[in-house]
Structure 1
Amino acid sequence: MNATTMPIPAAPPGLPGAAGLGAAVLRWLCDPRPVAAPAELDSAALGAALQAAIDAKLVCLLADHLLHNRADADLSRAMCSVLGQIVRANALHNRLHYGEAVRIVEVLARRDVPVAVLNGLAYTNLYPPGRLRQFTDIDLLVGAADLDTALDVLAELGFTDQGRGAHTRRRATGDALTPTVSVDITTSLGHTADPAGVRAALARTETSDGPDAGEQLPVLARADALWHTLARLAARSRWSGLADAARLALADPALSREVGAEVPELVRAGWAVLHTHLPDLIPGPPVAGDGPGRGEPAR
């Protein structure tokens, strides 16, 4: 539905744990700027902060912030060791998933199947140093006409166990840290399920460098990724989604201009969530114009 015929939606209800120390810590972690930690975050409060970060899948960001951005933090040697282990374990987890994604994408390319990596794995470069973004699986976007081919490729590569969804496949890795890898195939984006819009987004993909030299993956163009992330944030408000949206918006100031008629309703709703929780960070809604979701590739 064209956004010109619909009112601008109100912001959805707040994110889980939207008050108290936990929320203050999560806002601190989501903000990509070097800002001061909450004043009340001391050793006695670390338990509550850790619980909030674990629930929000931001524990690696918390570990890195405490290790490198809190000179006043009274951390024991054992605590520093555990935090360092968390960050290193996540780096290994991400590297394994990146390698698996490269393997899958290479085979799909040989079958002439356009594909883009979505969500967590696609956003790790936004979380330096050490790719601190946590995620659980590999999300891949393909066109609806290529879904069966993509599932066949996964089967050929050993992904034979069905996961949580009809188009999720898993395989055992033999790795003690990450015993299984799951791949979720989708044919829609957060802001559009229109096949033409999905094809256009696949035609605009960019490449993202991996943790190892020479490894690259196709990811959504920055504007497409922002719209997708904002729509997902509107549909399900999560702190990790808030962090993704903030980093995508700040990475390109041109994405933060005056809203136009072509911005889908869910994108505007997601922007409202983002601005509600980080009001001093994001100046305005995303640019419209000839952006993603219009059905034609950018020229």
Structure 2
Amino acid sequence: MNAPAMPSSPTAPPELPGAAGPGAAVLRWLCDPCPATAPAELDRAGLGPVLQAAIDAKLVCLLAHRLLGGPADAGLSRPMRSVLGQFVRANALHNRLHRGEAVRIVRVLASRGVSVAVLNGLAYDTALYLPGGLRQFTDIDLLVDAADRDAALNVLAELGFTQPGRGAHTRRRTTGDALTPTVSIDITTGLGHTADPADVRAALARTKAEGDGGVALPVLARADALAHALARLAARPRWSGLADAARLALAAPGSSREAVAAVSEPLHAGWAVLHSHLPDLVPGPPPATGGRLAREEVAR
């Protein structure tokens, strides 16, 4: 995976899909980890468009959680409460199955001496969101050193992942589960902000073990995860990416306005997207210098 090419001169941050459409204010509210009062768009008469927007943005479980856990719940019909609860429960089961598959794969890779990190949705599921299946994702993203990619694909084959997926290094297997009939694994050797093998190896060496119920998985250190999320947000603006970056910005070292001034253009552009939609959460980015994220900040 190559680092996304970004313009060298300042431009307006790329827009998120549907950012001016029905439900946009609610989507911003869902992405904000420190939300204020629920937006007026949550008026019951407008819940249909809001639900549609949340489903399209893969934020419907976050919406269900906030509606069912807040004062707005009093205005929900019993069937609506039931449907929203089903969204969250089904996604919790989906995520649990994927976590089990990831643990199985990571253990075998570790036994073969292959360093690996879990990226994106599954990595953020319990680290950045409340328990219960609030982070939605479709596959398991695994980062390995480029020299270990073939070994990782061989391990997947041994574990039954023989069906080709959407990408050249994606493998799937059937599960026999009615809710999640297939599990897809995507092997990558690059991060959103860098494809340099030395940088990837360094990020793999900094991984942290995070888990749910005592089952730990290797995930990127917070600053590495923030850099990856910001670059992905700049390259492909998505609401779920905005929600991830917002939570990482609060949890990761090196997320201050001064630190952003020293990072590369893709990270600076991602911060601009984050600020443009959640200006009360993070300050605006200063002019980019084109440098790299400081090693001492990443290692801290």
Q: Which residue of 1 aligns with 2:196?
A: 194
Q: After superposition, what is the alpha-carbon deviation per residue over 1:42-74, rounded to whole angstroms, capped at 9, x for unaligned? A: 111111000100111001001111111233651
- The 8 Å contact of residues 222 and 253 in structure 2, kept in 1 or not, is answered as no
Q: Which residue of 2 aligns with 1:3?
A: none
Q: Which residue of 2 aligns with 1:148?
A: 150
Distance 1:111 1:284 in 2: 45
Q: After superposition, what is the alpha-carbon deviation per residue over 1:62-114, rounded to whole angstroms, capped at 9, x for unaligned? A: 11111112336511111101111110000000000000000000000000000
Residues 181 and 72 of structure 1: is their aligned pair in 2 closer, same or farther, counting only changes over 3 Å? closer
- The 8 Å contact of residues 120 and 141 in structure 2, kept in 1 or not, is answered as yes
Residues 145 and 253 of structure 1: is their aligned pair in 2 closer, same or farther, counting only changes over 3 Å? closer
Distance 1:36 1:129 in 2: 22
TM-score, normalised to structure 1, is 0.91
Q: Please state if 1:249 is matched with 2:254.
A: no
Residues 166 and 236 of structure 1: is their aligned pair in 2 closer, same or farther, counting only changes over 3 Å? same
Q: Say which SS state the counterpart of residue 121 (structure 2) adopts.
A: helix
- The 8 Å contact of residues 67 and 73 in structure 2, kept in 1 or not, is answered as no
Q: Which residue of 1 aligns with 2:289?
A: none
Distance 1:96 1:280 in 2: 36
Q: Which residue of 2 aligns with 1:124?
A: 125
Q: Structure 1: which 5+ runs fail to align?
A: 1-5
Q: Which residue of 2 aligns with 1:163?
A: 165
Q: Say which SS state the counterpart of residue 71 (structure 1) adopts.
A: helix
Q: Please state if 1:67 is matched with 2:72.
A: no
Displacement of 1:261: 6.4
Q: Which runs of 4+ in 1 moved over 4 A?
A: 284-287
- The 8 Å contact of residues 124 and 133 in structure 1, kept in 2 or not, is answered as yes
Q: CA RMSD in A?
A: 2.0
Q: Please state if 1:40 is matched with 2:66.
A: no
- The 8 Å contact of residues 257 and 285 in structure 1, kept in 2 or not, is answered as yes
Distance 1:174 1:82 in 2: 24
Which amino acid in the other structure matches residue 108 of structure 2?
V
Q: Say which SS state the counterpart of residue 271 (structure 1) adopts.
A: helix
The 5 Å alignment of 1:270-281 reads 270-281=270-281
TM-score, normalised to structure 2, is 0.91
Choose 36-45 or 101-110, whichever is displaced more. 36-45
Report sequence identity in percent.
Answer: 75
Which amino acid in the other structure matches residue 84 of structure 2?
L
Residues 118 and 260 of structure 1: is their aligned pair in 2 closer, same or farther, counting only changes over 3 Å? closer
